[in-house]
Structure 1
Amino acid sequence: MQTDFSAPQLADPILSDANTILRKCVRCGFCTATCPSYQTTLNELDSPRGRIYLIKQMLESGKAPSPEVVDHLDKCLGCMACKDRCPSGLDYERLLAIAHDHIRKTYKRSPGERLRRRTLLAILPYPKRMALAVFIGRLFKPVAPVFPHFLRRLLQTIPDKRQSVKEHQPLMQAERTSDRGRVILLTGCAQKAVGNHINEATERFLTRLGYRIVKPENAGCCGALSHHMGEDGAKRHMKTLIDLYHAEIEKGDIAGIVLSTSGCGSTVKNYGQYFADDPIYKDKAEAVSNLAKDVSEFVTEEDVRAAVKRDMRTLHIAYQSPCSLTHAQQIPHAAPNLLRAAGFSVSEPAEQGLCCGSAGSFSLLQPEISDSLRDRKLKSLDACSPDIIASGNLGCITQLTKKRGCPVVHTIELLDWAAGGQRPCEEERPS
Structure 2
Amino acid sequence: MTTHHPAEDLAGAELLDATRAALTRYVSLPSAEAADAVVLWIAATHAQPAWAHAPRLVIRAPEKRCGKSRLLDVIEATCHNPFITVNSSSAAVYRSITDDPPTMLVDEADTIFGPKADGNEDLRGLLNAGHQRNRPAKRYDAAANRVESIPTFAMAALAGIGAMPDTIEDRAVIIRMRRRAPGETVSPYRHRRDRPALRALAHQLKAWLRADLTVLEAAEPAMPVEDRAADTWEPLVIVADHAGQHWPDRARAAVLALGAEAEENGEESIRVRLLGDCHTAFEYDTALSTSELLGRLKRDHEAPWITYGPAGLTAAKLGALLREYDIRSGNIRFPDGTQAKGYHRAHFTDAWTRYCPHVGQEASQPSHTSPARSARDGLTLWDGSTRPVAPTRPDPTSNATPGTAGTPTPLRRVPGGAA
TM-score for both structures, normalised by structure 1 = 0.24
* Larger helix proportion of the pair: 1
